[in-house]
């Protein structure tokens, strides 16, 4: 395990928790479980991410902090995944958008934007259908567009 892997796993934890202290605790717990484990995974990064995700879900259930949003099966799917890549948003806008997303959306956004996974790869990693992942990406796109529009309206009104 090297520093780059630890940093990547910390960013993943932070993406789920949106809190630096909780992210550090989550990462420490996951690494402890990985070290105590007798399994020898072929992909250590994916194995530890699974431990992190499961621990996060357990912690949320224990503290009853999970943001459950109903999945709308009839929601339009994001047909072109490159739409979000074309958005150029300032850092403070990204931080604000991040704060407006629930844990499931932050996780999908992290895996898609930071790790570079496709919707199919994210679906396989999370054990969810590709359509669900595309739907989440679509909702993220709609939220970001709404925030961008509100920000531009504020800028025009403030001038």
Total-model pTM: 0.54
Q: Model confidence over 101-145: pLDDT tens digits?
A: 888 888 888 888 888 888 899 999 888 899 989 998 898 888 888
pLDDT of residue 140: 87
Q: Which of 4, 6, 8, 10 is nearest to 23 (CA)?
A: 10
Q: Which of 126, 21, 142, 28 is nearest to 78 (CA)?
A: 142
Query: What are the two backbone dihedrals, phi and then psi, of residue 72, each rounded to the nearest 5 degrees?
Result: -95, 105
Taking the alpha carbons of 23, 28, 31, 32 in that order, is the dihedral positive or negative?
negative
Domain 81-158, what fold?
Arc Repressor Mutant, subunit A (1.10.10)
Mean pLDDT of 13-24: 88
Q: What is the DSSP letter of 113?
A: I
Domain boundaries, the chain: 3-63, 81-158
Confidence of residue 9 (pLDDT cuts 50, 70, 90): very high
Least confident of 38-42, 54-58, 81-85, 124-128: 81-85
Token pair, residue 8, equals 């990547």
Q: What is the DSSP letter of 112?
A: I
H or E segment to which residue 104 belongs:
helix 103-109
Query: What are the two backbone dihedrals, phi and then psi, of residue 47, each rounded to the nearest 5 degrees?
Result: -65, -45
pLDDT of residue 68: 52
More confident residue, 114 or 75: 114
pLDDT of residue 159: 53
Q: How far apart are CA 135 and CA 31, in angstroms?
A: 32
> Per-residue pLDDT for 88 more than 90?
no
pLDDT of residue 85: 46
Q: Are 97 and 89 in contact (CB under 8 A)?
A: yes
Mean pLDDT of 8-31: 90
């Amino acid at each position: 395990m090297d520093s780059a892997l630890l940093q990547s796993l910390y960013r993943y934890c932070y993406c789920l928790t949106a809190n630096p202290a909780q992210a550090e605790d989550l990462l420490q717990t996951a690494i402890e479980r990985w070290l105590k484990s007798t399994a020898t995974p072929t992909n250590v990064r994916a194995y530890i991410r699974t431990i992190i995700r499961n621990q996060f879900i357990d912690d949320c259930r224990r503290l009853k902090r999970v943001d459950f949003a109903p999945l709308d099966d009839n929601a339009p799917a994001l047909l072109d995944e490159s739409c979000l890549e074309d958005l150029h948003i300032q850092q403070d806008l990204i931080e604000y958008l991040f704060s407006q997303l629930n844990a499931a959306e932050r996780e999908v956004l992290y895996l898609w934007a930071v790790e570079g996974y496709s919707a199919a790869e994210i679906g396989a990693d999370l054990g969810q259908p590709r359509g669900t992942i595309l739907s989440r990406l679509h909702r993220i796109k709609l939220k970001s567009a709404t925030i961008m529009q509100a920000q531009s309206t504020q800028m025009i009104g403030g001038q």
